[in-house]
Chains A and B, each alone.
Chain A
Amino acid sequence: MSWILPAAIGIPLLGAGMAALFGRRLWPQRIVALIGVGSVLAASIALIFETDRSGPVVAQLGGWSAPAGITLAADRFSAIVLAVSAAMLFAVLVYAMAQLGRDALDWWFHAKYQVLAAGVAISMLTGDLFNLFVGFEVMLVASYVLLTPKTGPGEVRATMSYVVINLLASALFLVVIAFTYGLTGTMNLADLAVRLGDVDETIRTALGLLMLVVFGIKAALFPLFMWLPDSYPTAPTPVTAIFAGLLTKVGVFVIIRTQTLLFPQEGPSTLILTVAGLTMFVGVLGAIAQNDVKRILSFHIVSQIGYMIMGLGFLSVAGLGAAILYISHHIIVKTGLFLVGGIVESEHGTGALDRTGGLLHRRPVIAVLFLPLALSLAGIPPFSGFVAKLALVQEGVALGRGVIVAVSLAVSVLTFYSMTKIWSAAFWGSPGEEGRPAGRGMVLATVGVVVLSLGVAFFAQPIADLSIRAAAELLDPTVYIGAVLGDA
C-alpha cells in the first residue's frame, strides 16, 4: 500500500505539467485535471480504510530508511482530513469548469489548481518537518497565482498583503526549522518526537510556542488572522471557496499534528483554549459588521477555526475526536457556502447585500442549497455542524471548562444571526439587481457538496467513531513513531 503515498502527490503534479502542455485545448486540460484531483481523492479514501485496518501507512522515499531518508506517512487523522479536502477539491473543480468556462477563462487555471492539490497532499502526508515547509510553499505559490488571474487594482492590493504575510510566516517557519535542527540534528517528525524528549523543558516549550505562532498565521488564529478577510474575497469564487475550505485547515492540521506528536502534554491547555475562545468571538464580531456575502463568510472562517482549536485545547481523546469531526464538517460546509455565495453573486452581478434580494422566488433551488449549509454552520440540529458542536460542548462540560463552552454557544447564536442577515438580504425582499443565471455545473457541484454535508450528519455515528479512533492514535504517538522508525 505504501506506493499510494507518493502517487497521491506525484499524479497531480504530473497532471499540472500535462495541463500546461495542452495549452489552449480546453477538454484535454479538463480531463487531465479531473484525473489528477480524482486520483488524490481515490488514494485518500483507500488510505482511510488501510490506516483504520492496519495502522499508519509509511513510505520511505528512495529506499533510505528513516530518519535518514525522506518519509511520507499517513495515519487515520491525515487520511480523514486529506479525503475530505480532496472531495472538496474535486467538487470545486467541477464548479470552476462551469464558471470559468464562460466568465473568466484562464488557461493556466487547471495547472495551478493541480499544483495546489499536490501541495495540500504533501503537507498532510509528509513525515518530515522540512518537507512540510516545502509542501506549504508548493501550496502557497499555487495560491498566489490562483489569486491573480486578473491583475486589477483590487487583486494586486489584496495579493500583496497575502504574499508578504505568508513570506514572513515562511521565514519564521525556517527559523523554527533551524533551531529544531540545531537542537536535535533531525528533521524526521517521528525521530524529533523521540529526541525532543531529551531537550530542556524551557527550550522545548519555547519551540512549541514558536511553532504555534508560525502555523497560527497560516491557520488564521487570533490575533494573527488579519490578513485573511482582506485577501480571500477578491479572488474568483471557486478559488475563494477552495482557499476558505482548505488552506487555513491545513494550518490547523499541522498545529494538531505538531502539538500532539512533538509537544505532548497532559490535560487541557488553558493557553490554547483562550486563543480558541478569542478566535471564535472576534471572528464572529467581524462577520456581523460586514455587508458583503464573501466578506461575511471570510470572517466566519476565522470564527470557526476557534472551534477546531478548542477541540485541540482539551487534549483528550473525545476533545480531539470532536475537533477532527469539526474539521471534516467545516471543510465541506464552508466550501459549500462560498459556492452558494458565488451563485448569488453571479445571479445579481454583485455580492453586496444592499443590492441583492428576492432570490427565493427567482431561483428557489439556490435557497434550498443555502439553508442546510447556513444552519449547519450555526450548529442547528439535525445538520452536521450540530453533531460536531455537540461533541465539543459535551467534552467541555465533562472537563469542567465552563467559560469556553459558554463562549462557543454564544458564538453559535451570533453565527446564526449573521446567516439570517444573508438570508433576508439575498433571498427575501424586493428583487435585487439582475446578473447572469448561474450555470448548471455550478449548481450541480454545489448540490454535491450539500449532499456530502448532509451525509456527515446522517452517518454521524460511524464518522464520529472513526474520529475518536484517529484522536486516540494522535494522543498515543508511539504508534506513529513505531510505524515510521520501525521497531529496530
Chain B
Amino acid sequence: MSLIGLVVAATLFGIGTYLIQQRLLTRIIIGLGLISHGVNLLIILSGRRGLAPVVTSSVGPDGIADPLPQAMVLTAIVIAFGVTAFLLALALRSFILTGSDAVEDDVEDRRIAGAETGATGEGS
C-alpha cells in the first residue's frame, strides 16, 4: 500500500467522522459519503497495481493490475449510492414534516430529559 493513499484515506475518515457527529442529516450524509470514499480508496490500495487488469500483447503477466478490488469497489460504490439516495429522501421527508432535517432524540431520551426539567415528556 502507498503511504500517500493511506494518509488520504485516513483524512477522509477523519473529516467524515467529524461530520457524522453533527445534528443535521445532510451533514451526516456528506460525512458518510466521505467515509465511503475513504473505504473505496483503501480497497483499491489493497490490490496490486499494474498497467491493465487483463493480460494483453503489451501487458505481460507481471504487469497486470489485480481486477478483483476494482470489481469490489464498483459494487461498494453502487450500494453506497443507493443507500445515500434513500437517506437524502429521508432528509427531505424530515424537512417537509418538521421544517428541519435535524436528527431528533430517542423517545426515551426525551422522556427522561422532560422528567428532569419537570416538563411533560412526549411519546410518539
Which residues of A approach B to under 8 Å, CB–CB?
130, 133-134, 137, 141, 144-145, 148, 151-154, 156-157, 159-161, 163-164, 167-168, 170-171, 174-175, 177-179, 181-182, 185, 187, 229-230, 234, 290, 295, 352
Contacts and interface: CB of A to CB of B under 8 A. Distances in A.
A12 B36 CA distance: 29
Contact of A163 (B46, B86, B106): B86
B39 A175 contact: yes
B87 A163 contact: yes
B54 to A, nearest CB: 15
A311 to B, nearest CB: 30
A153 B39 CA distance: 32
B51 interface: no
B32 to A, nearest CB: 5
B21 to A, nearest CB: 11
A295 B75 CA distance: 36
A20 B32 CA distance: 30
A171 to B, nearest CB: 5
A171 B46 contact: no
A161 B46 contact: no
A445 B97 CA distance: 36
B20 A182 contact: no
Chain B interface mostly: helix
Contact of B72 (A154, A160, A177): A177
Interface in B27-84: 28, 32, 35-36, 39-40, 42-43, 45-47, 66, 68-69, 72, 75-76, 79-80, 82-83
A182 B46 contact: yes
B28 A164 contact: yes
26 contacts: A133-B76, A151-B93, A153-B94, A153-B124, A154-B124, A160-B91, A160-B103, A163-B83, A163-B86, A164-B20, A164-B28, A167-B32, A167-B87, A168-B32, A171-B36, A171-B39, A174-B36, A174-B39, A174-B40, A175-B42, A178-B39, A178-B69, A179-B46, A181-B46, A181-B69, A234-B124
B115 interface: no
Nearest to A230: B106
B84 to A, nearest CB: 8
Nearest to B103: A160
B116 interface: no
A294 B108 CA distance: 13
A230 B107 contact: yes
Contacts of B47: 181-182
Contact of A144 (B20, B32, B80, B86): B86
B90 interface: yes
Contacts of A159: 90
B68 A187 contact: yes
A163 B46 CA distance: 27
B97 to A, nearest CB: 5
A178 B46 contact: yes
B28 A157 contact: no
Among A151, A160, A182, A187, find the residue whose CB has the most chain B CB atoms closer than 10 A: A160
A315 B42 CA distance: 33
Contact of A167 (B42, B83, B103): B83
Nearest to B29: A164
A380 B110 CA distance: 36
B83 A174 contact: no
B90 A177 contact: no
B10 to A, nearest CB: 11
Contacts of B117: none
Interface of B: 1, 20, 25, 28, 32, 35-36, 39-40, 42-43, 45-47, 66, 68-69, 72, 75-76, 79-80, 82-83, 86-87, 90-91, 93-94, 97-98, 103-104, 106-108, 123-124
Contacts of A160: 25, 87, 90-91, 94, 103
Given A141-B86, A167-B87, 10 more contacts: A130-B75, A134-B75, A141-B82, A153-B97, A163-B86, A163-B90, A174-B39, A175-B39, A234-B124, A290-B108
Contacts of B80: 167
Among A178, A230, A234, find the residue whose CB has the most chain B CB atoms closer than 10 A: A178
A157 B57 CA distance: 57
Contacts of A157: 94, 103-104, 124
A144 B103 contact: no
Given A141-B82, A168-B32, A181-B47, A156 B94 contact: yes
A101 B58 CA distance: 63
Contacts of B28: 164
B36 A178 contact: no
A234 B25 CA distance: 19
Nearest to B79: A137
Contacts of B68: 181, 187
A151 B96 CA distance: 11
Among A157, A170, A185, A230, find the residue whose CB has the most chain B CB atoms closer than 10 A: A157
A174 B66 CA distance: 17
A179 B20 CA distance: 23
B25 A177 contact: no
A191 to B, nearest CB: 13
Contacts of B93: 151, 156
B1 A161 contact: no
Nearest to B66: A185
Contacts of A164: 20, 28, 32, 87, 103
A171 B43 contact: no
Contact of B20 (A130, A153, A168, A187): A168
Nearest 9 pairs of A and B residues by beta carbon: A182-B46, A178-B42, A154-B124, A174-B39, A178-B43, A178-B46, A181-B46, A230-B106, A137-B79
